[in-house]
A and B are shown apart, each in its own frame.
Chain A
Amino acid sequence: TQLLEQSPQFLSIQEGENLTVYCNSSSVFSSLQWYRQEPGEGPVLLVTVVTGGEVKKLKRLTFQFGDARKDSSLHITAAQPGDTGLYLCAGEGWGKLQFGAGTQVVVTP
């Protein structure tokens, strides 16, 4: 059983469309990270959210941390093929970083 549940598992969209990925848990996290992993590479840290209700923007990516610090979302506006990758959320739990199962995003031209 994953501590962090991500949805959807897979998302295929056309260039220019918007998408949202969700990360949910029944546990409270002091912080939550989002990573993107491209084929043949390790995960790359995109953002860390710390405060309940916090919203962070990274160009076309918007990250939100739930008020209760149990869930988070990643929204991509006007997706581009370069956004293709495996998106992973992770939170600190039981003394280690717990990863969600990931959402595979494919953006086609």
Chain B
Amino acid sequence: SAVISQKPSRDICQRGTSLTIQCQVDSQVTMMFWYRQQPGQSLTLIATANQGSEATYESGFVIDKFPISRPNLTFSTLTVSNMSPEDSSIYLCSVEGTSGSYNEQFFGPGTRLTVL
């Protein structure tokens, strides 16, 4: 399985500011995923990021609010823009496993964001 790190691990931000979250993988992967996990809730997919193409966003998430970069096969960033308290969540990146078609995913430790 891939080893995934995220920075920062947590942050407290002011309303109206933006935060960029980094995700680093120890091996080259085609697809990377960004999820949001609100307090006490399950995971909601924000977008899928493939290297060399625009990220694909899920319903309810837009590029202006959550711009994503994928400059190479081991790295991605998610920016949470113009933050409000409703953006307080854990943000997780993940990558697909190597077992083939089973769509297993391996997750980073998450970034815990609190917006005041």
Contact = CB atoms under 8 A, between A and B. Distances in A.
Contact of B45 (A44, A48, A92, A96): A96
Closest 9 CB pairs of A and B: A42-B107, A92-B103, A31-B102, A99-B43, A101-B42, A99-B42, A102-B42, A43-B107, A42-B110
A78 interface: no
A50 B110 contact: no
A96 B57 CA distance: 12
Interface of A: 2, 30-31, 33, 35, 40-45, 48, 50, 88, 90, 92, 96-97, 99-102
Interface of B: 1, 4, 33, 41-43, 45, 48, 58, 92, 94, 97, 99, 101-110, 112
Contact of A40 (B45, B48, B107, B109): B109
B110 A31 contact: no
Contact of A44 (B33, B42, B97, B107): B107
